[in-house]
Amino acid sequence: MSGDPTLRRARNMTWQNSQYEAIASHISLAESSVESRVDFFRNTPADELINKIPPAGHWSAAIDGTFVRYDITIGILSDPNDNRGKPDWCEQIFVGDAEHDATCLHARVMSLPPTELMKRLHGGLESTLSISQSEKVLTDYSLTPMYQNPRIQSAEPHSQFYDSVLELASDLRFHLPKVKLAEGFANRRLTGSGLAKKETKWTKCWRYEYHQSLQERQLTLRFKPNPILGSNFSNYAGHEQELAFLLQNFPALSSFSHSGHSPPHEIQEKTAEFGKNMAAVWIGFAHGEGIHSPGNRNQKEQTDDKVLVMGPNYEFKFVAKDEYNREYRKGRVEKLWEHIPWQRWFELGEKLQGC
């Protein structure tokens, strides 16, 4: 359920060694010999070592040429003629993302001071895109005014600046890779040995888009419709909320605050029904029934070239892909990103995260 289209992307040994050296530097071993480092790690008590190393690190599989033989890139996944990363046993796939998925990048992106975030944006655009492409990105994400004033000193977490960066990071890190993966699987012809000589079989790929966020502020100023208890992102259609619905974690969804207040009964009912309907979609897929909107499980729906949109307003509906892009993503995929090589926007997403 969680992760990006490449799950947790494997990294080469140069990247792995850079992480190791960063840890060594943090615990004052940068100038130490290999023997001294080995001695330190072997002889330092575990509880003491835990307190010395950084509290968080980026852990990933290593491309060693044997167990992990190559890097599964977005380009490989998007090419229906490239079988790497697409085993023949995978005949059906259901993939999606959330409107505000960059809330997952809180530590890497959204919690940065505005000056640091603007510096990252500056550097990323200058090193990955042309001037005209950069200008188009800034315009489409309403970032031009802030970008023209790079010495921005303050911005509230929910200001236009952070909202725009949230959209940009969500698209770069999750939405665009998901779209490319769907392209590769949806047009892929299976060639397994189990197929008859004249039999042609194609991979079936469905997409979903999660958009259930705060849409009912007018109902009451006291309660938020879908808050996650203790979360900084209760007003966003993020992955945390998506999982709570899918796993039907209703206490987390229906509790408003640590004060013990409960939201109106109407919202509790909508929350419960939406979560059960989400679970029904996944259960139907797991049973080989394809993807159906809730209530139409026994009806044949024409879902090719459509995406299942979950929310807002607790609704489920199939929308044509081009219509979805226009109505929910402001047309950015077609107008902007389809004209930029995936390597460029992928690198921009990495640089925005500080990678």
Q: Are residues 4 and 150 in the same domain?
A: no
Per the structure, how many domains does the chain have?
A: 2
Q: Are residues 52 and 96 in the same domain?
A: no
Q: Are residues 220 and 256 in the same domain?
A: yes
Residue-level pLDDT at 89: 85
Question: In this predicted model, which residue has the larger pLDDT, 31 or 199?
Answer: 31
Residue that is last in its domain, among 40, 71, 102: 71
Residue-level pLDDT at 302: 58
Q: Are residues 56 and 91 in the same domain?
A: no
Q: How confident is the model at residue 162 (pLDDT cuts 50, 70, 90)?
A: confident
Cβ atoms of 92 and 204 closer than 8 Å? yes
Residue-level pLDDT at 220: 31
**Alpha carbon distances (Å) from 203 to 34, 75, 156, 194:** 49, 18, 45, 14
Question: In this predicted model, which residue has the larger pLDDT, 314 or 233?
Answer: 314
Residue-level pLDDT at 45: 93
Q: Are residues 31 and 162 in the same domain?
A: no
- Per residue in 128-144, pLDDT (tens digit) is 999 999 999 999 998 88
- Per residue in 229-264, pLDDT (tens digit) is 445 556 778 887 888 888 877 665 554 444 455 555
pLDDT of 201 above 70: yes
Across 66-102, b (16+ Cβ under 10 Å) vs e yields eeeeeebbbebbbbbeeeebbeeeebebbebbbbbbb
Q: Cα-Cα-Cα-Cα dihedral of 78, 334, 327, 133, to 10°?
A: 110
d(CA 338, CA 341): 7
Residue that is last in its domain, among 16, 44, 71: 71
Q: Are residues 67 and 82 in the same domain?
A: no
Q: Are residues 191 and 223 in the same domain?
A: yes
Average pLDDT over residues 183-198: 70
**Ordered strands of the 306-310 beta sheet:** 92-98, 204-210, 306-310, 316-320
- Establish how many alpha carbons lie within 13 A of residue 93's alpha carbon, considering only the half-sphere containing its beta carbon: 24
Q: Among the ranges 105-109, 298-302, 347-351, which has the highest mean pLDDT value?
A: 347-351
Strand 306-310 to strand 204-210: parallel, antiparallel, or no bridges (unpaired)? parallel
Segment (H or E) for 307: strand 306-310
pLDDT of 324 above 60: yes
Q: Are residues 227 and 250 in the same domain?
A: yes
Cβ atoms of 80 and 189 closer than 8 Å? yes
Residue that is last in its domain, among 71, 98, 121: 71
Q: Are residues 54 and 189 in the same domain?
A: no
Out of 94-98, 145-149, 263-267, 330-334, pick the least confident. Answer: 263-267
Helix (H, G, I), strand (E, B) or coil at 93: strand
Q: How confident is the model at residue 347 (pLDDT cuts 50, 70, 90)?
A: very high
Q: Are residues 157 and 16 in the same domain?
A: no
Average pLDDT over residues 310-322: 91
Average pLDDT over residues 154-178: 83
pLDDT of 147 above 80: no
d(CA 178, CA 95): 7
pLDDT of 300 above 60: no
Q: Are residues 262 and 330 in the same domain?
A: yes
d(CA 321, CA 330): 13
Instruction: Return the structure tokens found at 316.
Output: 């489920």
Closest by CA to 159, choosing from 110, 219, 121, is: 110
Q: Are residues 252 and 268 in the same domain?
A: yes
- Per residue in 42-100, pLDDT (tens digit) is 999 999 988 888 877 777 788 888 888 888 888 998 998 898 888 888 888 999 999 98
Range of the domain at 58: 1-71
Residue-level pLDDT at 163: 86
Average pLDDT over residues 16-31: 90
Could you please report the per-residue DSSP string of 152-213?
Answer: -----TTSHHHHHHHHHHHIIIIIHHHHHHHHHHHTPEE--TTS-TT--EE-EEEEEEE---
Summary mean pLDDT of the chain: 80
